[in-house]
């Protein structure tokens, strides 16, 4: 898909019911003369499922920092939170006016 992801990850368990995860990703486009592809893949015989944006001869796609925290509330119940921020690089600037993006969620997981 013309991308590479070099990353570092730290996993910590400061308490038996709390786990922390922090990641740093350095995303690049392998071939700056190709496209930066995104999508979910082919879903039927008529839809390819991918879109491409020109990389413009550039390679720096983005740097992403994210953090997640999980707290085991009960044996079958856990509360999870996630936050990530992307710092868009030169490839993102070729297509979009803004280069930053945030994403986060809170989830409650029940396991039988």
Tell whether the model's pLDDT for residue 41 goes beyond 90. Answer: no
Q: Give the whole-number percent of the chain exceeding pLDDT 90.
A: 78
Q: Is 91 in contact with 61 (CB distance < 8 Å)? A: yes
**Is 64 within a domain?**
yes
**Is 82 within a domain?**
yes
For residue 11, what are the domain limits?
3-29+59-110
Tell whether the model's pLDDT for residue 43 goes beyond 90. Answer: no
Report the pLDDT value the prediction gives residue 48, as an integer from 0 to 100: 80
**Is 51 within a domain?**
no
**Is 53 within a domain?**
no
Report the pLDDT value the prediction gives residue 17, as an integer from 0 to 100: 98
Distance CA 48, CA 8 (A): 32
Split into its structural domains, the chain has a count of: 1
Q: Looking at residues 71-76, what average pLDDT do you find? A: 97
**Is 98 within a domain?**
yes
In degrees, to the nearest 5, what angle opens at C-alpha 73 toward C-alphas 70 and 74? Answer: 130
């Amino acid at each position: 898909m013309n991308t590479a992801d070099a990353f570092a990850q730290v996993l910590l368990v400061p308490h038996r019911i709390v786990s922390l995860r922090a990641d740093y990703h350095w995303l690049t486009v392998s071939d700056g003369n190709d496209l930066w592809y995104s999508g979910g893949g082919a879903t039927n015989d008529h839809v390819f499922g991918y879109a491409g944006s020109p990389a413009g001869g550039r390679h720096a796609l983005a740097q992403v920092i994210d953090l997640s925290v999980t707290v085991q509330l009960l044996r079958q119940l856990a509360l999870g939170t996630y936050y990530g921020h992307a710092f868009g690089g030169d490839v993102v600037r070729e297509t979009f006016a803004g280069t930053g993006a945030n994403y986060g969620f809170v989830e409650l997981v029940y396991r039988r």
